[in-house]
Structure 1
């Protein structure tokens, strides 16, 4: 019996892409780089802000320049992270019904923790018992460390939980943690990418997750 669901954030619970794109392109323009399209930025996200910035500017060295670009992005995104961001259709209904069923909820994101907390507190107050973003203490996904930490914090076992995500990074995380995964198709990766990881379930709408829980 499933006792808890662990959710990725960007592309799973929240459509954050427009705000991310605007902040990335602000950074690129300020530092003299060509701006990126929405589809390009969609392909860059998933395993941390620094990696996204490296892909956006097209290099990883010199590190000082990467970190300067990252700092510019983070300062802009801090102010504008909730301008256009909103939950996907059906997410609130899903979370409310899961709470009614006493299914415990957690967020496990590669987004930096200082960005995760305000979004969760602002858009999902009171829903999540455990909220994890990227920190120096835990290796980010696809390492299983964050999933393990969340499961331990909930005092559950791997068999008690499902992990819901939208990306190849999320699916690899579930494999690494030996946790059953639900891949969602409304996020940042398409079905062709996600199917390669053979998740236990693939869904097109949040209400389908309730059907899985009710089995």
Structure 2
């Protein structure tokens, strides 16, 4: 039986799309790359991170250098950040069961902790963060080692293909959620272990294991 359920943050627990687009467009003006238009959103959801960067004319190698600036601007909008409908209740229900909950994200730990405090969520045991968009498998591996867990003792919940790819690298089962940043077409070729189309389905999947 899994001992931990770990969640991605943006696009999985919280609806940060409008904030992210606003921040990206501010950076676009400063660093001279293509801003995101409303009509681009569905198209971008069907692209990989690399192809999104290509579409927006963003040099991939510059992402780590721009990450601190991105989250500094993002933090100013944290008051507008909201859980997706049903997520707050899901976390409370899972916390009432025999599961430890964690967040493993590429967002800022400070932002995540401030958001959880503002929303009175106190049953998240651990938060692991890395600004490396392509190194989540290393963060998951670090989480397993720190908690002396086998891969089979963790379930990860995420919304992007890179979440699924990272989990498969370390042998962790993954639940992909359909309400985040990646489209169903994008994710199908990565074959997540489970798919949830609404938060209550996460609880059903967990109970079935």
For this structure pair, what is the TM-score category when the shorter chain's length is used for normalisation? 0.7 to 0.9
Name the residue aligned to 1:78.
75
RMSD over aligned Cα atoms? 3.3
After superposing the two structures, state which structure 1 stretch, 103-112 or 18-27, moved more. Answer: 18-27
What are the ranges of 5 or more consecutive residues in structure 1 without an aligned counterpart?
none
The verdict on how the C-alpha distance between 1:114 and 1:92 changes in structure 2, with shifts beyond 3 A counting, is closer
Distance change in 2, residues 1:58/1:115 (3 Å): farther
Relative to structure 1, the CA distance from residue 34 to residue 148 in structure 2 (aligned partners, 3 Å threshold; closer, same or farther) is: closer
Pair 1:41–1:13, CA change in 2 (3 A): farther
Q: Which residue is 1:164 aligned to?
A: 157
Q: How many corresponding residue pairs? A: 206
Does structure 1 retain, via aligned residues, the 8 Å contact 2:46–2:183? no
Find the aligned partners of 1:52 and 1:72 in 2 and give their Cα distance.
22
Residue 94 (str. 1) matches residue 90 (str. 2): yes
Q: 1:153 to 1:121 in 2, by over 3 A?
A: farther
Counterpart-to-counterpart distance in 1, 2:75 and 2:56: 20
User: Could you tell me which residue of structure 1 aligns to residue 59 of structure 2?
Assistant: 60
Change (3 A) 1:189 1:79: same
Structure 2: which 5+ residue stretches go unaligned?
A: none
Q: Which has the higher helix share?
A: 2
| 107-116 vs 192-201, which moves further | 107-116
